[in-house]
Amino acid sequence: MIGCVSGRGTCVLNGRQWRVEPGELLFLPPGKLHVYHADPDDPWTIFWFHLRGLRVADHLENLGITEDEPKLRVDAPTALIEAFEDTFRHTTHGFGEAAMTGLCTAFTRLIGLARVHRKAQGARSRGSEDRLLKALATMRGHLDHPWSLEELAGIAGLSAPHFADLCRKHTGMPPLGLLIRLRLQKAMELLQRGTHNVGEAGQEVGYADPFYFSRLFRKHMGMPPSACRNGP
């Protein structure tokens, strides 16, 4: 399963070419010849899993996935990204019963979100979503920038109220609330790697004041940032 976060890519499967764009999931069956690559002018950012098990066919049937229709589009890509990150975190905890239960539960939630947010869109609504995704991808790529609602809406070519409504609809969060969530997730990742101390992690994602960063982190994550540190 490949999930496209930003950019674009192409896959050839069973002699047919599939273009994969932001907010789309592509499922490649085992044992079938396929080739995929990033668009050279707009290379994709993706998350992916190799999956197998007794219930895989049931999940694919529930999503409406077949070899002739291996792709689906969702209207809440950010929710899937967060679900992927939650699933991936469980892979770092080993292969004990608790870790594997958490991994399977998190992955099933990701598939469930894909089912809930599965969507067929017309050209007009899809154009608005693409502009939203472009702005959110820009924001995600520059988390240390002091973004304003107006600036993000300008990137999308939408009015600020329309952009905010569209963001709430597709991600379940207002734009600046989503920014905080993404910043803190990135900071937690840096702390867990052990490459940054608390002040450095905060500064990396746009918070120059380490005390403000620590208060914000505790408020949203339920723990001080120092509790996430690994390594030296």
Query: 41-88 pLDDT, tens per residue?
Result: 888 889 898 888 888 888 888 888 988 899 988 877 777 888 888 888
Q: Is the per-residue pLDDT at 208 higher than 80?
A: yes
- Residue ranges of alpha helices (H) inside 75-159 are 77-91, 97-116, 123-141, 149-156
Cα dist from 62 to 75, 150, 177, 188, whole Å: 17, 39, 32, 34
Domain with CATH 2.60.120.280 in the chain: 2-116
- What's the pLDDT score for residue 136? 86
**pLDDT bucket at 130, cuts 50 / 70 / 90:** confident
Report the sign of the C-alpha dihedral through residues 116, 122, 123, 129, in that order: negative
Domain with CATH 1.10.10.60 in the chain: 121-232
Secondary structure class of 46 (helix, strand, coil): strand
CB 133 within 8 A of CB 23: yes
2-116 CATH: 2.60.120.280
- What's the pLDDT score for residue 119? 66
121-232 CATH: 1.10.10.60
CB 146 within 8 A of CB 206: yes
**Cα Rg of the chain (Å, integer):** 19
Which is it for strands 9-13 and 45-48: parallel, antiparallel or unpaired?
Answer: unpaired
Higher pLDDT, 10 or 195: 10
CB 29 within 8 A of CB 66: no
Which is it for strands 71-73 and 24-26: parallel, antiparallel or unpaired?
Answer: antiparallel
pTM: 0.52
Higher pLDDT, 38 or 223: 38
Q: Is the per-residue pLDDT at 122 higher than 60?
A: no
Name the average pLDDT for the chain: 85
Q: How far apart are CA 220 and CA 176, in angstroms?
A: 14
Q: Is the per-residue pLDDT at 231 higher than 50?
A: no
